[in-house]
Amino acid sequence: MIGFQRRLMDVEPQLNHREARDLFLALADEELPEPQAKAVRSHLDGCEECRAGWDRYARTVQLVRKVEREKAPPMMASLVLNRVKRERRFGLRKLHWAHTHHRFPVEVLIPLLLAAAVAAFLVMSAS
């Protein structure tokens, strides 16, 4: 029985198209254990469509990995330090937080303020 199981493991498992394609991620990351990598390669050798898919996939991953990185503008550190100083000096931490997370578009904010001013004027002139 043990010998039979060993013989089974020695034989490369046959992958279908879906199974082979699902392993592209690990193959591109070079994280696929050798027996599985061998099984994918053997599927690719016999399947033109999956081979073309793999070539495109691998080329894309390579292209993205070697794309030139964007560099921060030269003054970035000074800009950050000034901003931190400004925040500390004026104690605007909470206001800044509110602005970042709840900021209203100007086209909403201005009509709201105008409406509030008109309402206040009407209330005052009525009393």
Partner 1 sequence: MSSSEVLDIGQEGAVAAGAPEGQSERVLLSRLRRGDPEAFELLVREHQDRVFDFCVRMVGDREEASDLVQEIFVSVHQNLGKFREDSKLSTWIFRISKNQCINRLKYLKRRGRGRSDEYGEVGEDALSGAIGAAPTPDTALESARERARVQWAISQLEPDARMLVALRDIEGLSYEEIIEITELPEGTVKSRLHRAREKLADLLGRLEE
Of 69, 89, 91, 126, the one binding partner 1 by CB under 8 A: 69
d(C-alpha 60, C-alpha 96), whole Å: 40
Q: How far is CA 7 from CA 38, 41, 43, 105, in A?
A: 16, 20, 20, 69
Cα 12 to Cα 120: distance, rounded to the nearest angstrom? 81
Residue 57 Cβ vs partner 1, minimum distance, rounded to whole Å? 5
In the list 2, 8, 11, 63, the residue contacting partner 1 (rule: CB under 8 A) is 63
Q: Decide if residue 48 touches partner 1 (CB under 8 A).
A: no
Q: Which of 27, 47, 46 is nearest to 37 (CA)?
A: 27
Residues that bind partner 1 (CB under 8 A): 22, 24-25, 28, 56-57, 59-61, 63-65, 67-73, 76-77, 79-81, 83-84, 87, 93, 96, 100-101, 103, 105
